[in-house]
A = this chain, B = another copy of it.
Amino acid sequence: MKKASLSDIALRLGVSKTLVSFVLNGKAKEYRISDDICQRVMDVAKELNYTPNRIAQGLRTGHTKTIGLIIADIANPFFGKLGREIEQEAARYGYNIIFCSSDENPEKSAQQIAMLQQSQVDGFIISPPINSEDQIRTLAKGQIPFVLIDRFFPEIDCNHIVVDNFDAAYTATKHLLSLGRRRIANITLNLDLANMKDRTDGYKQALRDASIEVDENLVKVLPFSHENKDVALAINELLGKKDDLKADAILFSTSKIGIMAIECISSLGLKIPDDIAVVSFDNTDAYKICVSPVTVIGQPLKEIGKTAMQILLNEIKHPGVKVKTQKVTLKTEFIVRKSCGS
């Protein structure tokens, strides 16, 4: 049994599709359609189990009520939680989310953007990989609203909502310093990524402000597709040295790194915080039940997701009107647990 369409209802009632459309879209009073006919349309619609074809609506009206979300990896709890917040906010306004995991790969994200454009999404929320500047620039020239999250490109003028990464890393590093740690390391990802760079910059600045020279050997940069062995190598280089060359604390720039690193540290038989203090970005669940619960920099995921959707929906509502680009920087929350000692 095929789905009922507008004309099925119209035919049945001997009225025009126009009428049916008006009634079903709540424009009955606007067009002063008689209560009688109005009621009959509704009745038949219910009887036929009518439900509008959004694809047809989309073709006609030009908006599909779906938005495209491109993040690094939906399996990463950080992005999963962010996705959830975005979904929730979107649902409140009847929008659907198509998600795409880019794996921080600009070729993939380019292809995903193209695909989503073909699908006529009404807007994008993107966590752009490195080397995707051109894609974003092209997007900025186009008509489809979008907002960047988690990172952005300082040189591109467009909506974005990020977190004060510099400040967060600075705070975390100072915390470590205040507890007497001096050989503080940082394990991070490709520094071409603005957020990662800011984190490492904040870390370095805190050291300098404490008159400690930055030792580049203590900054380990991992590839995006890092696996346990990459992390293990970094940990070995950091901790497998003589006492006065060894790191006595580590700042992890992502929780994915942190989890792998802690697993590695434990397997080496080292104790946190006694042998090594540890602090990490992202308040992931794993850190709560860790050998030594991890002191973290928590990000306001709810606020990021909600704000991103709000900005997007606002632009979708008012196409053409060039509102000021929204550049939002949110504060993080520093949560002290036991992994830094006391």
| Structural contact, B100 and A115, CB atoms closer than 8 A | no
- Copies of this chain present in the complex amount to 2
A59 interface contact, C-beta 8 A: yes
| Per-residue B-contact encoding for A259-280, CB less than 8 Å = 1, 0 else | 1001100100000000000000
CB of A22 to closest CB in B, whole Å: 19
CB of A175 to closest CB in B, whole Å: 21
Alpha-carbon gap, A285 to B284, bound state (A): 10
Stretch at the interface among A33-41, A117-125, A188-196, A326-334: A117-125
| Structural contact, B118 and A54, CB atoms closer than 8 A | yes
Interface centre among A96, A115, A293 (most CB of B within 10 A): A96
Contacts of A51 in B (CB 8 A): 114, 117-118
CB of A57 to closest CB in B, whole Å: 9
Contacts of A94 in B (CB 8 A): 115
From the candidates B84, B101, B120, name the one contacting A55 in the complex (CB within 8 A).
B120
Q: Given A118-B53, A259-B285, A291-B290, do A87 and B99 touch, yes or no (CB 8 Å)? A: yes
Closest 10 A/B residue pairs (Cβ): A286-B286, A80-B80, A75-B84, A75-B81, A262-B289, A54-B118, A55-B120, A75-B80, A55-B58, A54-B119
